[in-house]
Amino acid sequence: MTTLALAQVTVEQLARLAPLEGHPTATSPWNVFEQTPLTPEQEQHLTWITARIRAFHTTRANESTLWARAIYPLLMLAERGDVRAWSQVALKASFKAGDETVELVGVADGVLAREGGLGGDPWPPLLLVVEAKRAIDATDPAPQLLGALYVALQLDPRGEFEPKVCYGCYTVGDTWTFARATRTVERGAPRVVVDWSREYTERTEAAIILGILTAVVATSAEA
């Protein structure tokens, strides 16, 4: 069995597990999600958060500080019912690639997911978040996010031949880029299509970002 770490996985390696088709800066579903109205409570908390982001040097802060000040608070504001925001969630799934078994293993920086019956059990994920590393550890966050989405789609409990959908995003500083991954099976072989959003800057578009997060939770929770 071959083990691939999500932090180092490549698009080519993922395509061996299931052919991958990407749609850069797709319009749908993001143009609809952007219009999601916020509740008065969300707006009140968002005003408090954004005021502190605008007075902060996000380009110079380390990842942990940015996560605490800018990213995780918006995930918490998107919580609904039993859907909670989580940090550092372990991911693992096995795939067949010809005669070989390939295991994807890693950690998602953040997740919006239902809480299991025992509490503290974040599964299944409705949205996965990868925070880009910077300085000497800098890597492209998109392949890692795609790998995390492959894991979530693989572990989706719906039937093998049913379409499966999972959402994700990666953050670079206070800029968010979203993705919708759809897995289908055609002639017995899996295929993944990814629709990417444009970039959203939290400093000026926090309400739109929160609207997208809220829409993702509502759409996924009803599926």
pLDDT value for 98 = 80
pLDDT value for 61 = 76
> Whole-model pTM above 0.85?
yes
pLDDT value for 138 = 65
> Cβ(148)–Cβ(108) under 8 Å?
yes
Q: What tokens appear for 205 in the block? A: 């578009």
pLDDT value for 65 = 87
The whole-angstrom separation of Cα 208 and Cα 36 is 8
pLDDT value for 187 = 80
pLDDT value for 44 = 96
Q: Give the whole-number percent of the chain exceeding pLDDT 90.
A: 71
Tell me: the pLDDT tens digits for 36-48? 999 999 999 999 9
Question: For the chain, which ranges sit under pLDDT 50?
Answer: none
